Amino acid sequence: MANTKVKAVLFDLGDTVLNFGKVKTAELFRRGAERSYEFLKSAGQPVSGFRQYCYRNLISVRLHYFLSSATKRDFDSLELLRKIGIKAGYKLDDDQWQHLAWLWYEPLSERATVEPDIVETLNALKALGLKLGIVSNTFISRTSLEKHLEKFDILRFFSVHLYSYQFPFRKPDLRIFTAAAEKIAEPLKNIMFVGDRIDNDAKPAIKAGMQATLKKAHTNIGREIPQGIWEIDKLCELPGLIRSINAQSDSAEPADETAAVNTYTRSV
As beta bridge partners, residue 169 has: none
Query: Do 140 and 14 touch, CB atoms closer than 8 A?
Result: no
Bigger pLDDT: 183 vs 249: 183
Kindly tell me if the per-residue pLDDT of 54 is higher than 50.
yes
- For the stretch 77-126, pLDDT in tens is 999 999 999 999 999 999 999 999 999 999 999 999 999 999 999 999 99
Percent of the chain topping pLDDT 70? 93
pLDDT score, position 2: 53
Three-state secondary structure readout of 137-165: CCCCCHHHHHHHHHHCCCHHHCCEEEEHH
Kindly tell me if the per-residue pLDDT of 158 is higher than 90.
yes
Instruction: Determine whether 84 is exposed, middle or buried from the number of CB atoms within 10 Å of its CB (0-12, 13-18, 19+).
Output: middle
17: left (phi over 0), alpha (psi -120 to 50) or beta: alpha
- For the stretch 4-18, pLDDT in tens is 899 999 999 999 999
Rounded to whole angstroms, the Cα distance separating 267 from 261 reads 10
Query: Do 100 and 47 touch, CB atoms closer than 8 A?
Result: no
32: left (phi over 0), alpha (psi -120 to 50) or beta: alpha
Lowest mean pLDDT among 79-88, 142-151, 195-204, 219-228: 219-228
Kindly tell me if the per-residue pLDDT of 25 is higher than 90.
yes
Query: Do 242 and 236 touch, CB atoms closer than 8 A?
Result: no
Average pLDDT, the chain: 92
Residue 85 DSSP SS3: helix
Kindly tell me if the per-residue pLDDT of 237 is higher than 90.
yes
Rounded to whole angstroms, the Cα distance separating 157 from 121 reads 11
Rounded to whole angstroms, the Cα distance separating 172 from 203 reads 8
Q: Where are the beta strands (DSSP E) in the chain?
A: 8-11, 131-136, 160-163, 191-195, 211-215, 230-232
Residue 199 DSSP SS3: helix
Sheet containing 8-11: order of strands: 160-163, 131-136, 8-11, 191-195, 211-215, 230-232
Rounded to whole angstroms, the Cα distance separating 153 from 147 reads 10
Mean pLDDT, rounded, for 235-243 = 97
Residue 254: pLDDT band (50, 70, 90) is: very low
Kindly tell me if the per-residue pLDDT of 31 is higher than 70.
yes
Percent of the chain topping pLDDT 90? 87
- For the stretch 172-183, pLDDT in tens is 999 999 999 999
Kindly tell me if the per-residue pLDDT of 258 is higher than 70.
no
Residue 189: pLDDT band (50, 70, 90) is: very high
Kindly tell me if the per-residue pLDDT of 264 is higher than 50.
no
Kindly tell me if the per-residue pLDDT of 232 is higher than 70.
yes
pLDDT score, position 255: 45
pTM (whole model) above 0.75: yes
pLDDT score, position 108: 97
Rounded to whole angstroms, the Cα distance separating 76 from 64 reads 10
Rounded to whole angstroms, the Cα distance separating 61 from 25 reads 12
pLDDT score, position 257: 40
